[in-house]
Amino acid sequence: MKKVIYEAYGDADVLKVADFRINEPADGEVLVKIMAAGINPVDYKIRKGALKFIYRAKLPRTPGGEISGIVEKTGSTQSAFKPGDKVYAMLPISVGGYSEYVNVKEDLLSLMPKNISFNEAAVIPLAGLTALQALRDKGNISKGMKVLINGGSGGVGMFAIQIAKAFGAEVTAVCSGKNINFVRSFGADHVVDYEKEDFTKLTDKFDIILDAVAKSSFGKCKKILKEKSVFITTIPSPPVMLRQIINPMVNKKAFGILTKPLSKDLDYLTNLIAQGKLKASIEKVYSMEEAANAHKHIETGRVKGKLVIKMNH
């Protein structure tokens, strides 16, 4: 089977396709024939060595934190899955998804929504779970809340708008002018074009601000947060980490998020997808051989929605 690997940290051109043996699934694991793998900024950050201080990857490494595919074989006879099941998952950081096959712990797998393609399913787990765990678990989102999503056109932002709408919130999305119609297509009630207006100077006040692209800060957003409110960022800065310590004592709380690969949360998203409340938009599909170009693309920071690698098979 083929895998995309890199043998040393470096720029996108370190990525190459290599042949490997398929390993038998251990007890509690499922061998998945991967049909597609989503691409996320963390994939290139690890490849560049930018996260070495928190995660030292074992080399050679296969990037990719989310997949969709078909169950090929189960490691235990008592499995909840059977060959032929269509599944999707967020993978633990040590397991790479740009591969034709992977062994996944079965408690990380969910049955794929029936109404979407493998490419669409592959791009949902990591960014979708980030948006859900941020808004629901950190933000305590509920009906009628005013929620602002900074970076509504990115992977996390696109899902966050829809999840906030599914909870009955009034959503303001921040994006550039070219993406206004795109974020509106996910249900944003109001849109702020960051090229024309600084959202931190709005007169409105918000119950939750999710800085999905981590381009703003708690300090700048504080004045547009309601008296009892939550600021959440995808990349916690030292002030946010400090604030987390005093959160129990203050009304304006700040959190950084570290997404957990929970299949019960993925099942929650599956339910939203089945109800037509959550969809994915893919800007471009790449092959395994084009992984370097896919990484150059995501590194621009300008992706609209998501990128995906479709496996050859």
Give me the residues that bind ligand NAP (CB under 6 A), please: 40-42, 126-127, 130, 150-151, 153-157, 174-176, 179, 194, 212-215, 234-235, 257-259, 298, 301-304
Smallest distance from ligand NAP to CB 273, Å: 18
CB closest to ligand NAP, residue no: 154
162 sits in which H/E element: helix 155-166
Q: Are strands 29-39 and 101-105 parallel, antiparallel or unpaired?
A: antiparallel
Q: CA 209, CA 295: separation in Å to the nearest integer?
A: 29
- Least Cβ distance, residue 210 to ligand NAP (angstroms): 10
- Residue 257 CB, shortest distance to ligand NAP, in Å, is 5
Considering the complex, what minimum distance in angstroms separates the CB of residue 25 from ligand NAP?
A: 27
Dist CA 282 CA 270 (whole Å): 18
Q: Which of 130, 270 has the CB closer to ligand NAP?
A: 130
Query: Residues for the chain: how many in total?
Result: 313
| 178/214 Cα distance (integer angstroms) | 20
Residue closer to ligand NAP by CB (options 25, 236) is 236
Q: With contact defined as beta carbons under 8 Å apart, do 72 and 83 qualify?
A: yes
Cβ 133 to ligand NAP shortest distance, Å: 8
> Please, are residues 102 and 34 in contact by the beta-carbon 8 Å criterion?
yes
Pick the closer one to ligand NAP by CB: 62 or 179: 179
**Dist. CA 198–CA 196, nearest whole Å:** 7
Nearer to ligand NAP, 113 or 261 (CB): 261
Number of continuous H segments (helices) and E segments (strands) in the chain: 9, 15
- Judged by CB, which is closer to ligand NAP: 64, or 151? 151
